Amino acid sequence: MKKKPIILGIESSCDETAASVVQENDQGIPTILSNIVSSQINVHKEFGGVVPELAARSHVEKIDLITKKAIDESGIKLEDLNAVAATAGPGLIVCLSVGLSFGKAVASSLKKPFIAVNHLEGHALSPKLNSKLNYPYLLLLISGGHTQFLSVQGLGKYKRLGTTIDDAIGEAFDKTAKLLGIEFPGGPKIEEFAKKGDSKKYELPKPIMHKGGCNLSFAGLKTAVLKIATKIKTDQEKYDLAASFQKTVEEILYKKSKIAFKEFKNINTKKNNVFVVAGGVAANKKIRKILIKLCEEENFKAVFPPINLCGDNAAMIAMVGLEKFKLKQFNNLDYPAKPRWALDESAKFLKGAGVKL
């Protein structure tokens, strides 16, 4: 029997240095052989956010060791690889350049094809790792840098239905956390604080809740949190603000997802009511719960990648690489790092708003 393709994936777009080996199994499902992620949380936490130069330096220090570990753990030999895939964007250019150059060097030294991958495509297709999922499906991508609804029609075929007009949802979580004195990245801690608080204590705004289709906005919410946070004195008040913030975000996502369901059904005649929620913020259990409830009400199937595949990782990059490999979609070694790279190129500008995203 013909050997199933094996792909090495490399990811360094932000503050995670990651490498992974993925192989297609006999049922045609991409299967993870190894998945190594080295987080830089300790490098950035005292700065309250990712410092690009420090992140890039840390990628340079670790990328070879992480890749060696991924190869060793997978049980394959370097020569067994069919291709090398690396994230080419979007992300921090100094960080992208590290993984991209390294990936190109490995591919070229092995004389194997090189494949440039869009990080967002990795998140978008991540639920296809280790499981079967048919196109089209509706995707809500919620991460530190992105918040968007996309109709995923197939590999490389995306239609954006809505996006944030200002901050990303993960950014709102992290900034709220910072105001409450929580170290970066504070999203998971906000979820913990919220469990101990009263979600009705503070009335927070839900910007563009009743307009803009399924576009979203979090800047006004962040400002409102800032105003309250400056007056807060006790730990209980911190918990209450975290709980009020968490509840507000849940209500925004519930309402906007409901609109996105309608828009998804309008553009897809082929019925496949599947709602995939991916990206770092999809690890939030209460957000999962409210979106599962919505799916039950609206007759959609809810799909969440496993928690360890929600955040940045290289398995999702290797998996996109595998899909592209099967279609012989290879790239030249002069492929550039792209700090901005929309999945739906036709939707770069928000209709009517003149806002570049």
- Where does this chain bind ligand KG4 (CB under 6 A)? 14, 143-145, 170, 173-174, 185, 187-188, 191, 279-281, 283-284, 311-312
Q: Under the criterion CB under 5 A, does residue 40 sit at the interface with Zn ion? A: no
CA distances from 3 to 28, 32, 106, 128, 217 (A): 12, 16, 21, 21, 48
Query: Minimal distance in Å, beta carbon 287 to ligand KG4?
Result: 7
In the list Zn ion, ligand KG4, none, the entry touching 52 (Cβ below 5 to 8 angstroms by class) is: none
Give the residue with the Cβ less far from ligand KG4, 112 or 338.
338
The dihedral region occupied by 21, where left means phi > 0, alpha psi between -120 and 50, and beta the remainder, is beta
In the list Zn ion, ligand KG4, none, the entry touching 321 (Cβ below 5 to 8 angstroms by class) is: none
Residue 210: strand, helix, or coil: coil
Q: Which of 31, 34, 67, 143 binds Zn ion (CB under 5 A)?
A: 143
Query: Minimal distance in Å, beta carbon 299 to ligand KG4?
Result: 27
Neighbours of 250 (CB within 10 A): 19
Query: Minimal distance in Å, beta carbon 218 to ligand KG4?
Result: 12
Give the residue with the Cβ less far from ligand KG4, 82 or 147.
147
Neighbours of 199 (CB within 10 A): 20
Helix (H) or strand (E) holding 86: strand 83-89
Q: Which of 312, 317, 322, 347 binds Zn ion (CB under 5 A)?
A: 312
Give the residue with the Cβ less far from ligand KG4, 24 or 121.
121
Residue 33: which of 1, 95, 81 has the closest Cα? 81
Query: Minimal distance in Å, beta carbon 284 to ligand KG4?
Result: 3
Cβ contact 126:305 at 8 Å: yes
